[in-house]
Amino acid sequence: METDSAQRLDGTLTSADETVQFRADLTDSERADFSASWPDRFAWKHAHSKANPEADWGLHVLQSIEFGFYVLNAKFGRELGNGETLITITPKNTLVIASSVSNGGGSSVRAAEQDKHDLIDGVAVSEPNVNPEVDTGFSIRQGDGPVISNHSRSLLDYTTALAVWQGCANQAPAIRDDAPLNGVFNPPAIGENICNSLANKGLVSGATLDDRATDALRMLNEEFAIQPEQNLLAPVHFGLAVAQSISMTYANAYGRAAVEARLCDLSLAATDGAGAFQPLPAGAEAALFSASNGIPPTAGVNIVYDGAEGQPTHLAASVSPSSSQPDYGLDALLCLRSLAQDSNAVTGAPLEGEEAVRADAIAGGMNGFPGVADRYVPLHHYYFQALDLVWATLKNKQPLPPSQVVRTLPRGDIGTPLSEANLPDIDPDPESGDRIVFVNNQLRIPE
């Protein structure tokens, strides 16, 4: 923020008044005041643009398709000889499949919903981030598990719940020792402090650490319908700050918060080994365009809890004022949680932007982590297979397979390469016990 540097469209840095991807809209004096109080901080486009960009992701996909047709016709269209080009490549003679993963997958789904000009012929996505409009007219059930009626929560609702309770749940006896890298990424002492802080706030019950951690895990599984299959993977996600980073970024985006607002006393900066903020080396800053995934912590930029007891500190190492304990800055995480519940007493402002991203309808490689590679298979393999199946449907009129659970086989030994036995194909005619069906207003997923 001090230098007012920003990334050009090609990713290089500039402090000049020219076209850039994003620059915080502060005057020189406002920026100087901010930097004097909060030095070495970063403004992040997704979090701090005040544009709530997710609301227009579907539109942006449609615009990219229109641009694609423009470029194709400029290159391959028929020249008329008078400086004009006859448009020969059109949606009527060209197959378009909207396809991506995660945020891109959600963008593709939303684009298909908003496609009034029939630009898109098919959709093939994996793990789409879609916030559906709440429909209480149906329920969901996996196998013989509980009926889930309170579904369709927002991404922010789920991630803030994980940010608050998962740090304690990591110490539950049912997963503590079996979850891959749990002890490496999640120090038990911090987990115990989180459990104690939650208990003191009445957010978990139990007299012992085991009881409190078990209750936190129960809360996530029962109250938020986090499936038990995720329990062993969730600790490594918490250790990598997945839910925490999404909660911080999206709360700012949905609230259209400016960088100087420091929503929930959180900001972005590089930190040292003790958790104190420090300048990001110039070389690392120059590499952010290529090295960052867009949601801190990433590429050397971390989430800093400015309201931590003592001094601004890396969130994971923060001491909460309410507990005077290093409990992963639980006070800040609870603030983000309150925003997801539209009950923040500090800002008094609900996140109107969250409703703007609701959807109307929802039409790989080897992982080297011990304990992960031997339990899980790459979902990306099936994303590519789905893309091929959609192409075959559009091109050759091949029927799409019914919705189903694919019975994969983890390879067990981390040194064993994946084979076709581990990754069976999506079945064109699955057994009845593998089919995902909608019966009597209930989405039924096999165990």
Show which residues are catalytic.
102
- Please tell me the number of Cα atoms within 13 Å of 80 on its side-chain side: 8
| Rounded Cα gap, residues 61 and 105, in angstroms | 10
| Rounded Cα gap, residues 271 and 278, in angstroms | 5
CA geometry: angle 226, 248, 217, nearest 5 deg: 25
- Residue tagged 């994003």 (tokens): 22
CA-based nearest residue to 385, from 124, 40, 93, 182: 124
Q: Long-range contacts for 337-341 (Cβ within 8 Å, ≥24 apart)?
A: 337/160, 337/161, 337/163, 337/164, 337/247, 339/156, 339/160, 339/251, 339/254, 339/255, 339/263, 339/264, 340/154, 340/156, 340/157, 340/160, 340/161, 340/247, 340/251, 341/157
DSSP alpha helix (H) spans, 230-293: 234-239, 242-254, 282-286, 288-291
Amino acid identity of residue 96, one-letter, is: V
Give Cα separations from 428 to 339, 390, 424 (angstroms). 44, 13, 12
